[in-house]
Amino acid sequence: MCHRIILIFALSYLMALSLYGQSKSSPVYLYDEASVEERVKDVLSRLTLQEKIDLIHAQSKFSSKGVPRLGIPENWLSDGPFGVRPENLWDKWGSAGWTNDACTALPPLTCLAATWNPELAYNYGKVLGEEARYRNKNVILGPGVNMFRTPVNGRNFEYMGEDPYLASKMVVPYIRGVQESKVAACVKHFALNNQETHRSKINVIVDDRTLYEIYLPAFKAAVLEGGVWSVMASYNRYKGQFCCHNEYLINNILKGEWGFDGVVVSDWGGTKDTMQAIRNGLDLEFGTGTDGMLMDSDNPYDAYFMANPYKNLIEDGVVGTEELDDKVRRVLRMIFRTNMAKDRPFGSFVSEEHFKTCYDIAKEGVVLLKNEGLLPLNASDYKTILVVGDNASRTLSNAGGSSMLKPAKEVLTLDAIRKYVGDKAEVKYARGYQAYMPGYEPDNLDLLRQEAVEEAKNADVVIYVGGLNRWSYQDCEGRDRLGYELPFQQDALIAGLLEANPNTVLMLHGGTSFSMPWRDKAKSIVYAMYGGSENGSVLSDVLFGEINPSGRLPFTMAEYLDDYPSHALGIYDPDNKEDVVYEEGLYIGYRWMNEKDIKPMYPFGFGLTYTGFEWGEPSISSNRLKSVQEVVLPDSDSEAKARDSKKIKIRIPVTNIGEMRGAEVVQLYVRDVEAYLPRPEKELKRFCKLWLEPGETGIAEFELQEDDLRFFDPQKHAWVSEKGEFEIMLGSSSEDIRETLKLILV
Ligand code: GLC
């Protein structure tokens, strides 16, 4: 019945149009029939030059014009990667003071990466997309996937660690989850934005092979597998050109080799030149005249590089409109995929389901680094429990730069511990230290430390909650850290607490690595990441055994800053505003540690558990894999399918031999025994997280195919594999290899 009415209406509507001489050349689309491309083409054909120019640059801090005359809505963009940022003023870096924009604060992306659980990445994106949709934002400015190259980078916490394969596997489901709500994810910062100091000045110099094997894979996966609808170009230069209009990165690779059909958005203030913006693939200009953080200039939007200056070049006949039409087509495509999507959902905001997802992610992201019998605690065993640390009583998700949030909820760890313990024991608190900006050291630090150490002597157990926070010069955008050690004189405090009471549990927040000179004296160390809205609940539940930690480090925690190549080679220089040469090439993170035989404090992929696992005998379906001809980017579907038939299967049983349900993360690394180009000793190519009940045996299963064995040959500009022997290593971290199998590529 319902369909017949629509049909009658449609016929009468068409007849009415023909009666009134509707021109045959302008088809009328029935809403459900026209494809996005048809609708884009139709609208493009109707636009004036001014309307086209209006579509490709900002009209406010976070929005760009639509076409009211044709019913095309505006674009509304919002940070950030972990939640929908509180509403900004129209044209200033300030809060609009709304009272209905407090969101679900999700854990930062190093925490998500530390779960090694792609399903959680999808759930993460789903929450983020639903909240952005509900807040009427059609672009969410995340995820960030820049590689962890130096531990002092202020934004490591916003990214997914040091390994391109892990980041690639976690970024795809995140994007799919977001875009299900008809919100565009915006993978960033494309590319080579691996430090904050002088981020908008430095010129990164890196060889092609390293670019393709280390710094691009997560972006490539976002485009080719995630189908991301927008990409944010980064502030820095590459090959001497600003990345916001970089011919090599945007025209040749992103839109050329990968066939990206979405929108390239500038970082805020990253656009520097009209002609380059026209020619080199920038589609949407934002924040010109600002530094993306605080500095603003009274820069009228018509003065943007791609506003009147562009229009004047067209009107003066200096440039044509071919590039403009391509930019407009992409912006319209994003609008039809999002705000004008025919099945656009309503979204949802700050729901119990969203908080539950936040908890589940934080729960699987916490990493147990050390435990000599102290954890999990039984609250009834103690009369006095002392909690120490500024981070125990501080909201952490409300800072960090553009990723800052106004959390509708953030459970503080001290509150959660008090709630869990109830009247089983007395819970006391000593701040121990106070956070401060460099150069503004408060004069009460010694007193705070002495008080906490004294209290520790009289407590049965001490729970220290410290680490970094999200202030400038810590885990925060715009500045790098000033050193590798923990800030706010925590090393002295931690040493004092461990001396005063050996039953001290260290729970350290952060999204990057830092030194731990006291770690041999500590019985239990938990890398607490940042848990967002459920931060305290998760840490308390880890402490008292409601959660069995299952996180694995997505980055290497080396003993010293100089254990990292960017420092060992003297490359990182906070005063350098010019060329930054990535001399270490492929060898970042565990690749470097293996190459230089450096034993890190806690290796990539490391994490302990409250239970225990036994690994059985591995098996391999065949150890001979047929290679195929070289494939030049991008892989076409047919080649990929053809290659599917050449997979080998690897399996290994894992048994939970402990008393608690827990998860093992079996990691598969590959080594090319002989290659005509140097290759790292091992590279992560698969992983499998197995949750097992006590006594249960599960099977970690992997399928490897030929292109997992490839490397990028810059001379051929192609991914190639080389016949011969490979080693397949199965490990529970990059340093703890349990089994090695041989594979021959024929
Ligand atoms: C900032 C950041 C970027 C953010 C944008 C908008 O400078 O680099 O990640 O999305 O500007 O706030």
274-309 residue pLDDT tens: 999 999 999 999 999 888 887 777 779 999 999 999
Residue 536 Cα, ligand 1 centroid: separation in angstroms? 28
**Is the beta carbon of 141 within 6 A of some atom in ligand 1?**
yes
Instruction: Give pLDDT tens digits for 550-589.
Output: 999 999 999 999 999 999 999 999 999 999 999 999 999 9
**Is the beta carbon of 190 within 6 A of some atom in ligand 1?**
no
**Is the beta carbon of 81 within 6 A of some atom in ligand 1?**
no
CA distance 616 to 613: 10
Residue 109 Cα, ligand 1 centroid: separation in angstroms? 15
CA distance 464 to 389: 6
Instruction: Give pLDDT tens digits for 28-60.
Output: 555 556 799 999 999 999 999 999 999 999 999
In three-state secondary structure terms, 598 is coil
**Is the beta carbon of 151 within 6 A of some atom in ligand 1?**
no
For the cut 60, the answer to whether the pLDDT of residue 4 exceeds it is: no
Tell which atom from ligand 1 comes closest to the C-alpha of 193. Answer: 8
The reply to whether omega before 354 is within 30° of 0 (cis) is no
Q: Is 446 an active-site residue?
A: no
**Is the beta carbon of 291 within 6 A of some atom in ligand 1?**
no
Three-state DSSP string of 507-521: EEECCCCCCCCCHHH
**Is the beta carbon of 155 within 6 A of some atom in ligand 1?**
no
Tell the residue nearest (CA) to atom 7 of ligand 1.
Answer: 292
CA distance 578 to 122: 39
**Is the beta carbon of 478 within 6 A of some atom in ligand 1?**
no
Contact yes or no for 463/430 (Cβ under 8 A): no
Tell which atom from ligand 1 comes closest to the C-alpha of 62. Answer: 6
In order of 42, 306, 356, 627, the CA distances from 533 in angstroms are 45, 39, 10, 48
Dihedral class, residue 715 (left if φ above 0, else alpha if ψ from -120 to 50, else beta): alpha
**Is the beta carbon of 196 within 6 A of some atom in ligand 1?**
no
pTM score, two decimals? 0.94
- State the DSSP string of 341-371: -TT------S-HHHHHHHHHHHHHH-EEEEE
Residue 318 Cα, ligand 1 centroid: separation in angstroms? 32
CA distance 619 to 650: 6
Contact yes or no for 504/389 (Cβ under 8 A): no
Residue 199 Cα, ligand 1 centroid: separation in angstroms? 12
- CB contact set of 481 (below 8 Å; sequence gap of 6+): 151, 152, 153, 154, 468, 473, 474, 487, 512
**Is the beta carbon of 163 within 6 A of some atom in ligand 1?**
no
**Is the beta carbon of 267 within 6 A of some atom in ligand 1?**
yes
Instruction: Give pLDDT tens digits for 414-442.
Output: 999 999 999 999 999 999 999 999 999 99
Mutate to test the pocket of ligand 1, among 156, 192, 477 (most ligand atoms within 8 A of CB): 477
pLDDT at 537: 98
pLDDT at 298: 72
Residue 402 Cα, ligand 1 centroid: separation in angstroms? 6
CA distance 200 to 204: 11
pLDDT at 626: 86
For the cut 90, the answer to whether the pLDDT of residue 450 exceeds it is: yes
Mean pLDDT value across residues 680-701 = 98
Tell which atom from ligand 1 comes closest to the C-alpha of 292. Answer: 7
Residue 48 Cα, ligand 1 centroid: separation in angstroms? 31
Q: Which two tokens stand for residue 432?
A: 């121990």
CA distance 688 to 274: 47
Instruction: Give pLDDT tens digits for 588-633.
Output: 999 999 999 999 999 999 999 999 999 999 999 999 998 876 555 5
Tell which atom from ligand 1 comes closest to the C-alpha of 158. Answer: 9
- CB contact set of 413 (below 8 Å; sequence gap of 6+): 387, 391, 392, 393, 465, 507, 535, 536, 539, 540
Residue 229 Cα, ligand 1 centroid: separation in angstroms? 17
CA distance 705 to 640: 10
Tell which atom from ligand 1 comes closest to the C-alpha of 293. Answer: 7
Q: Which two tokens stand for residue 370?
A: 């050390």
pLDDT at 24: 44
Mean pLDDT of the chain: 94
Contact yes or no for 264/279 (Cβ under 8 A): no
Q: How far is CA 379 from the centre of its chain?
A: 36
Structure-model confidence comparison of residues 290 and 13, the more confident one: 290
Tell which atom from ligand 1 comes closest to the C-alpha of 268. Answer: 11
Tell the residue nearest (CA) to atom 9 of ligand 1.
Answer: 402
Dihedral class, residue 145 (left if φ above 0, else alpha if ψ from -120 to 50, else beta): alpha
Mutate to test the pocket of ligand 1, among 141, 236, 285 (most ligand atoms within 8 A of CB): 141
Residue 511 Cα, ligand 1 centroid: separation in angstroms? 18
For the cut 80, the answer to whether the pLDDT of residue 719 exceeds it is: yes
**Which one from 54, 101, 267, 390 is the annotated catalytic residue?**
267
**Is the beta carbon of 402 within 6 A of some atom in ligand 1?**
yes
Residue 548 Cα, ligand 1 centroid: separation in angstroms? 35
**Is the beta carbon of 79 within 6 A of some atom in ligand 1?**
yes
| Angle subtended by helix axes 322-337 and 36-44, to nearest 10 | 130
Contact yes or no for 209/582 (Cβ under 8 A): no
Instruction: Give pLDDT tens digits for 394-403.
Output: 999 999 999 9
Tell the residue nearest (CA) to atom 12 of ligand 1.
Answer: 402
Tell the residue nearest (CA) to atom 1 of ligand 1.
Answer: 292
Residue 180 Cα, ligand 1 centroid: separation in angstroms? 23
CA distance 684 to 734: 8
**Is the beta carbon of 158 within 6 A of some atom in ligand 1?**
no
The reply to whether omega before 678 is within 30° of 0 (cis) is no
C-beta contacts of 659-662 below 8 A and 24+ residues apart: 659/611, 659/694, 660/545, 660/548, 660/609, 660/610, 660/611, 660/694, 661/548, 661/611, 661/691, 661/692, 661/693, 661/694, 662/548, 662/550, 662/609, 662/610, 662/611, 662/613, 662/691, 662/692
pLDDT at 22: 38
Q: How far is CA 478 from the centre of its chain?
A: 17
What confidence category does residue 27 fall into, taking pLDDT thresholds of 50, 70 and 90? low
Tell which atom from ligand 1 comes closest to the C-alpha of 269. Answer: 7
Mutate to test the pocket of ligand 1, among 109, 267, 293, 404 (most ligand atoms within 8 A of CB): 267
What confidence category does residue 8 fall into, taking pLDDT thresholds of 50, 70 and 90? very low
For the cut 60, the answer to whether the pLDDT of residue 7 exceeds it is: no
Tell the residue nearest (CA) to atom 11 of ligand 1.
Answer: 292
pLDDT at 291: 81
Instruction: Give pLDDT tens digits for 328-357.
Output: 999 999 999 999 998 999 999 999 999 999
Contact yes or no for 358/105 (Cβ under 8 A): yes
Residue 416 Cα, ligand 1 centroid: separation in angstroms? 33
CA distance 407 to 713: 47
